[in-house]
Amino acid sequence: MEEANYQWYEIGPNGAPLGDPSDNIQFNATKNEQNETIYVLDFDTETRDVGDYALFVTLQKYNYEVRNAFIDLRIRKRVFNTSLTATNLQGSQVNIVQGKDVELQLILEDPTNEGDPLTDANVSLSIGGNEYVFNETEDGVYTYTFTTEQIEAFFAGKTLTGNITIQKEDYETQSVSITIAVGMTEIFPGMPTFYFIMILGSVIAVGGSLAGYRYYQLAKIPEFVKRARAMSKNIKGGKPIDKTLLYPSKKEFMVEELSDRWEAIGLSLASILGIKTEETKVIKKKTPSKKKMKTKTPEPEAKPESEPKADEGGAE
């Protein structure tokens, strides 16, 4: 074939050509297994801008009619494949405890290039009113660590919804939805701190109430019952009974209650009732001293007694 070429020009939105047609571009001629010549038109769309194009093909051979072909070509943006992995990811939701980090990893592949990694893409996470940029750690692999320390989840869990946006020139912009459910702060695995404080506070309140009620009940028990129980406990335990647990006898009670009145008239009720106490010992010590003082002191009443007898004798 003497001629196998084409020309092209770009078409604008209104269908009019944008600029002049290109120069003639020759087809690539190759042989197949049957030794037949194959003419290949390679427009190399990978290097072309996205848009509409018109191609005019001319095929000519000696002693053959000239053949022409018109090709209307539209170059669209390419698509790519995404694969998202994350900490505790189930479907499109991540379940994480407040304070823990979420490790996000996104793998991008270009199916139009036999699944080669898609490099130099702009990947960002938009969530909670903020935007975070991924880093390309290796060809086609983009990662980001989302921290939850700044999220308030002490009293109740919080759910955040967001989108991971992937952009690259000449490729369709794609987005991946993701939900991050932040659980309540935990004091230890499986136990939220707030619930633990509530339970602990309830236990303390109940314990305090029971202790207060127990104290109140014990305060209502008569003193002699308390002493009787203590004496019984000592007897069962083979221990001596403390004097503080014993009640005074009737006579001792009378001495304790009425001794001061008897002492006011110079008598010892304990001595009269035959009870030995510390008070009676003191009285006994004082009593002899008083008697001794009386024996030494002369009786002033002796003279008045003799005078009336003398008067009586004179009268007789």
pLDDT band at 10 (very low <50, low <70, confident <90, very high): very high
Give percent of the chain above pLDDT 90: 27
Rounded-to-integer distance, Cα 221 and Cα 217, Å: 7
For 266-295, the pLDDT digits (tens) are: 778 778 777 765 544 444 444 444 444 444
- 2 vs 26, 32, 65, 178, CA distance in Å? 11, 19, 12, 59
201 close to 193: Cβ distance less than 8 angstroms: no
Between 142 and 203, the more confident residue is: 142
Q: Domain locations in the chain?
A: 3-75, 81-184, 193-243, 248-294
39 close to 28: Cβ distance less than 8 angstroms: yes
Rounded-to-integer distance, Cα 230 and Cα 239, Å: 11
Between 286 and 262, the more confident residue is: 262
For 35-93, the pLDDT digits (tens) are: 888 889 888 888 888 899 999 999 998 888 999 999 999 988 889 999 999 998 998 89
Torsion angle, alpha carbons of 89, 90, 95, 96, to 10: -20
CATH architecture of 81-184: Sandwich (2.60)
For 227-249, the pLDDT digits (tens) are: 777 777 777 777 777 766 666 67
Q: Is the pLDDT of residue 11 over 70?
A: yes
10 close to 17: Cβ distance less than 8 angstroms: yes
Query: What one-character DSSP code corresponds to residue 302?
Result: H
Between 82 and 151, the more confident residue is: 82
Collect all residues with Cβ–Cβ distance below 8 Å to 136 and sequence separation of at least 6.
Answer: 119, 120, 121, 123, 142
Beta bridge partners of 17: 11
